[in-house]
Structure 1
Amino acid sequence: MTSRLFAVCFAANEPLRVARFWSAILGREVVDDPQHGVMLLPRDETDFRLRFPSTSEPKVVQNRAHIELTSDSLEHQRQTVARALELGARHVDVGQLPEESHVVLGDPDGNEFCVLGPGNTFLAGCGFLGDLACDGSQAVGYFWSQALGWPLVWDQDQETAIQSPRGGPKIAWGGPPLMPNGGRDRVTFDVAPGVGDEPRAEVDRLLSLGATRVGEGHDGTVVLADPDGTEFRVLTPR
């Protein structure tokens, strides 16, 4: 048994505006998601589905996870940054140094993301959406590798990364020192039991891997937390 990563969720005050921004950046279709606002469909089986559930809570602290976009050249990086700013992004200071080659922006809802310079070997072959870079421990990287059945493609100095066996974007965790939680995470995972798997048995398996039970969502989903305390949802078939 393994869970499927159904979606990476970015809670947003203006879900449709944020979804349209990312649709224009990534070239993906926006669809209605009656239970959870709006969603971007993946372009192929290796892409993350992106979900934008609505929240009334203002964004007050830096997210503990962010998208990283790759560049083929300095001109490609410049064009991506210019396009993002045109669509409503803004420059964000998260303590980056002037000599660093990446550009840090915030989407229209303030969610941080990076436009990397060319020559990033770590994300070679991952595509334009290179990875979801997370603040997190080595233990949480191990947990998600087992939970999703995705192999570890990096495990060094307490930094970890996993990638679907089909390829595509990575999910990476930077290791210590960890940022304070700062309250409820706006970037979370929705996972679904594998085809034919019984949801309750899959929840029990995730608990045995180190998750903790938080409660139930209003739609009958099971809310768990990973070993770092970041909540995620286990979807139930409808």
Structure 2
Amino acid sequence: MALRFVQVNFNASDPSRLGRFWADALGWEVTNDDSYEVNLEPAGFTYPEPSALVIDLVPVDDPKTVKNRVHLDLASHSPEHYAETVRRLEELGATRADVGQRGDETWTVLADPEGNEFCVLEPREAYQGTGPIAAVAIDCADPVAQARFWSEATDWKVLDADEDGARLHSSAGVGPYVEFIPTPDEKAVKNRVHFDLRPYPGDDQAAEADRLRALGATDADVGQKDEPWIVLADPEGNEFCILTAK
């Protein structure tokens, strides 16, 4: 039994507007836009497959108040593409963001129109085949323990893990990475960006939730009512959803 990372979920004050920004930023398509959610996918994508983690945006009333613990890292292919990507994103409405960086980093920290921080990375060999999203990065206290939990929760492999950080990649070796970044900051509020996971066809959603609880996940209350998904939190309190099998 294993779960699949299938999408990154953004809480948004204006999902349509934010969805248009991210669709333009990534070169993806808006495949659904209604009062309930906005969905973004690469052109020609067959959901769900590991070559991409698609984006789902849902409306919320609460405003963003602190730096997100989960953010996207965007890939670039050359110094020219890196500079052009930063310029283009700023033209789309991104702004420079201060997350405590020293100023000598080789990447650029931006924020989308609702203040969600993200990074544009300088060209790196490891990210050349990931697509526009190089990685989904998660702040944490213990990268090794977090990588172990998420690898056991899913079928993704730990590529490296130590106190300086950890990385997971799909068992198919394609698509973006999931990375755990050590930080002294403690989680204070519900994450505005989180993972949605799905069981494989034929696997049982409730059984998967029980399996993750045995690994250290806990039930989480984010105001859900009778939705068909199960909301849990990982051992460091990061919320995620287990969707039905598909």
| TM-score normalized with structure 1 length | 0.92
Map of 1:23 onto structure 2: 23
Equivalent residue for 1:123, pick from 115, 127, 131: 127
Query: How many angstroms does 1:193 deviate by?
Result: 1.6
User: 2:78–2:122: 8 Å Cα contact kept in structure 1?
Assistant: yes
- Listed as ranges, the gaps of 5+ residues in structure 2 are none
Separation in 1, partners of 2:245, 2:128:
36
Deviations 1:137-164 (A, max 9, x none): 2212111111111010121235211111
Task: Select 1:206's aligned residue among 212, 217, 230.
Answer: 212
The correspondence of residues 33-112 of structure 1 with structure 2, limited to 5 A, is: 36-43=36-43, 44=45, 45=49, 46-112=51-117
CA distance in 2, matches of 1:29, 1:193: 25
Identity %: 39
Match of 1:229 in 2: 237
The answer to whether the 8 A contact 2:52-2:131 is kept is no
CA distance in 1, matches of 2:198, 2:220: 17
Gaps of at least 5 residues in structure 1 are none
Corresponding position: 1:185 with 2:187: no
SS at match of 1:135: strand
SS in 2 for 1:97: coil
Query: Does structure 1 retain, via aligned residues, the 8 Å contact 2:131–2:175?
Result: yes
CA distance in 1, matches of 2:157, 2:36: 29
Query: How many residues of Structure 1 are paired with residues of Structure 2 in the alignment?
Result: 236
Offset at residue 117 of structure 1 (A):
1.5
Residue 228 to residue 89, structure 1, CA distance change in 2 (3 Å)? same
Deviations 1:63-91 (A, max 9, x none): 00111112222221111111111111111
Deviations 1:148-205 (A, max 9, x none): 1101012123521111122110000013x43221211101111122110111111111
Distance in 2 between the 1:225 and 1:35 partners? Answer: 26
Q: Please give the root-mean-square deviation of Cα atoms over the aligned residues, in Å.
A: 1.9
CA distance in 2, matches of 1:127, 1:9: 18
